[in-house]
Amino acid sequence: MSQAKKKRKEYRKKLLHLKKKRPKQINEQFNTLHDGEFETMDCLNCANCCKTTSPIFRNVDINRLAKHLRMKVGSFTEKYLKLDEDNDYVLKSSPCTFLNEDNTCSVYDYRPLACREYPHTDRKNVLQIIDLTIKNTEVCPAVARIVDKIIQ
């Protein structure tokens, strides 16, 4: 088994155990650690999420972006998006086509909700998305530190 796979398995086991024992405190701990991380983290020095993963584009996101770019919804979808295994629209390629060289987002005010909410460690029930959070430890250094602190 690869090191990454081993680590994911260990994270999962520990987080599921904590979820069973004291879910409320763990969710609160996620939120507190999230606030601490993002008080000092400058995402413009990272942008790893925009470089390596795709947000989900809901219809409302697609409509808003297509309108902003003065494109037809169909043309926008055809040019930038594909359906993933869960039948959600995601970017055809990465890094994100809307990421500028200086790591800013060229469609910032119109970006998908999933970009606004990433990395989701400030949601009320983070334990509801354990698998996604574990996946994000490999994308987002802040999430990796948060999870490490929680399971230590």
Burial 125-152 (b: 16+ CB within 10 A, else e): ebbeebeebbebbebbebbbebbeebee
| Residues 49-108 close enough to bind ligand SF4 by CB under 6 A | 49-50, 55, 96, 98-99, 105, 107
Residue 144 sits in the site that holds ligand SF4 (CB under 6 A): no
CA 81 to CA 68: how far, in whole Å? 16
Residue 41 sits in the site that holds ligand SF4 (CB under 6 A): yes
Residue 33 CB partners (closer than 8 Å, separation 6+)? 121, 145, 146, 149, 150
Stretch of residues binding ligand SF4 (CB under 6 A), selected from 3-11, 12-20, 44-52, 68-76: 44-52
What's the CA dihedral at 43, 59, 96, 69 to 10 degrees?
-100
Size of the site for ligand SF4 (CB under 6 A): 21
Residue 113 sits in the site that holds ligand SF4 (CB under 6 A): no
Q: Which of 56, 71, 141, 151 binds ligand SF4 (CB under 6 A)?
A: 141
Interface with ligand SF4 (CB under 6 A): 41, 43, 46-50, 55, 96, 98-99, 105, 107, 111, 115, 118-119, 139-142
